[in-house]
Amino acid sequence: MSMPTPRKRILTGDRPTGPLHIGHLAGSLQNRVALQHQYETFVLLADVQALTDNFERPQKIRDNVLEVMLDYLAVGLNPDVCTFVIQSQLPEIAELTVLYLNLVTVSHLRQNPTVKSEIAQKGYGDAVPAGFFVYPVSQAADITAFGAHLVPVGEDQLPMIEQTREIVRRFNHLYAPVLTAPQALVGQAARLPGLDNAGKMSKSLNNAIFLSDSADTVARKVKGMYTDPGHLRAEDPGQVDGNPVFAYLDAFDPDRSGLEAMKDHYRQGGLGDVKVKRHLTDVLEATLAPIRERRTDFARNTDSVQEIVRTGTLRGREVAAETIQAVRQAMGLDYF
Ligand code: TRP
């Protein structure tokens, strides 16, 4: 009788820089919840990566590890099937990063489009912290440490997967074929625009609805949302495209035909923003109420959350230790 084939492995993760918002929910969390039973799922709380641009504020990152864990559990990532790992507690990842840094050139890192735009956005210029500059290499260490086959990501993370695949190719060619080349699994959902439509939803732009927001806060934020600036009176025809209110409805309204009818009405004129926003508030509330309830329950019992992430991290270390052993052997670093 043959052994059952082991399930393929997924690695996903987030930088714990703040609580998660509905952009994360639509863009990646719902996808992860759907995949968790099909794949062996590791979820990385990437605190070391978060420190690369928050190193003056380590307490902020530490606090947000718990916040993000609460968000994960609240949306339905199930600790019986997911392994939650705190990145900083795996020295194996740091060791892999150092070894991989030899396989990457500065000129190549400079071309990474995601890092490039982040450097521009943060105004670092040449004063970019070296740790930030090389975080794609540390992300390659994350992914390969777990031997992940698949990495569900948003578009902006594709250069990280490409970088990882290149490191794997070089390593396996130079030393021995011990590393797994990951594949990106890009979700269909585009990232949600912010409440102000001025960019993607993000905590730092102060344009987000958080999973932990109260019903009142959600209602207030929706009221203040940007809509079609040309739609001044209810009678006027309105724009649906580029209107964040409809982008959120696209992401969360389960009544697809009702939504299409609403869009037609809005385009024709005669449907006011107040009504559409009231509907959006209801739709968001239907999505967020159960999440909020579970979050409150877990927040009352942080000891059990600590235990979940402690157990997960220990398990993660076991897996990473296997990788590092193979890597050391492949490079002849197994002296004793
Ligand atoms: N860079 C990812 C982000 O900003 C977070 C992350 C770190 C990650 N390590 C990872 C994602 C490994 C997937 C796999 O969202």
CATH of residue 119's domain is 3.40.50.620
Number of domains forming the structure of the chain: 2
Alpha carbon distance 67, 289 (integer Å): 17
pLDDT for res 242? 94
Angstrom distance (rounded) from CA 114 to CA 169: 21
**pLDDT at residue number 247:** 96
In a domain, residue 207? The reply is: no
Domain assignment of residue 209, yes or no? no
Q: CA–CA separation, 323 vs 91, rounded Å?
A: 12
Rounded CA-CA distance 209/207 in Å is 7
Residues above pLDDT 90, as percent of the chain: 91
Query: Are 19 and 55 within one domain?
Result: yes
User: Is the domain of 170 the same as that of 223?
Assistant: no
Q: Which residues of the chain have pLDDT under 50?
A: none
Residues 43, 183 within the same domain: yes
Specify whether 33 is located in the same domain as 134. Answer: yes
Cα separations in angstroms, 279 against 81, 99, 119, 208, 263: 35, 53, 39, 18, 12
Q: Please work out whether the CB of residue 178 comes within 6 Å of at least one atom of ligand 1.
A: no
pLDDT at 191: 81
Query: How far, in Å, is the centroid of ligand 1 from the Cα of 264?
Result: 39
Instruction: Mark whether 179 and 99 lie in a shared domain.
Output: yes
Q: Is the pTM of this model over 0.85?
A: yes
Q: Are residues 30 and 144 in the same domain?
A: yes
- Say yes or no: 136 and 240 in one domain: no
Q: Are 242 and 263 in contact (CB under 8 A)?
A: no
- 152 Cβ closer than 6 Å to some ligand 1 atom: no
- Give the range of the structural domain holding residue 271, as residue numbers without chain letter: 215-296
In short, whether 14's Cβ falls inside 6 Å of ligand 1 is yes
98 and 64 co-located in one domain: yes
Tens digits of residue pLDDT in 277-328:
999 999 999 999 999 999 999 999 999 999 999 999 999 999 999 999 999 9
Give pLDDT, residue 265: 97
**CA dist., res. 52 & res. 292, Å (int):** 30
Indicate whether 292 and 307 sit together in one domain: no
Q: Kindly state the tokens that stand for 281.
A: 């508030």
DSSP assignment of 22-64 equals: HHHIIIIIHHHHHHTTTSEEEEEE-HHHHHTTTTT-HHHHHHH
CA of 131 to the centre of ligand 1 (A): 15
Does 278 map to a domain? Answer: yes
Q: Is residue 3 part of a domain?
A: no
CB 86 within 8 A of CB 313: yes
SS3 call for 146: coil
Beta bridge partners of residue 185, listed in sequence order: 152
In whole angstroms, give the CA distance from residue 312 to residue 309. Answer: 5
Do residue 24 and residue 125 come from a single domain? yes
Is 336 domain-assigned? no
Residue 201, domain member (yes or no): no
208 located within any domain: no
Which residue of 48, 49, 64 sits with most ligand 1 atoms within 8 Å of its CB, as the best mutation to test the pocket? 49
User: Which of 204, 212, 247 has its CA nearest to residue 226?
Assistant: 247
Q: Locate tokens 């952009």: which residue?
A: 23
For a mutational test of ligand 1's pocket, the pick from 72, 142, 150, i.e. the residue with the most ligand atoms closer than 8 A to its C-beta, is 142
- Domain assignment present for residue 89? The answer is yes
Q: Are residues 186 and 64 in the same domain?
A: yes
Residue 2 pLDDT: 60
Question: What would the pLDDT profile of 178-200 be if each residue is shown by its tens digit?
Answer: 999 999 998 777 789 999 999 88
* pLDDT in the model for residue 4: 64
Torsion angle, CA of 225/227/232/238, rounded to 10 degrees?
A: -150
22 and 134, same domain (yes or no): yes
Q: What CATH number did the domain enclosing 238 receive?
A: 1.10.240.10
Residue 304 to residues 66, 149, 297, 311: CA-CA distances in angstroms?
11, 30, 11, 11
What is the pLDDT, as a whole number, of residue 204? 86
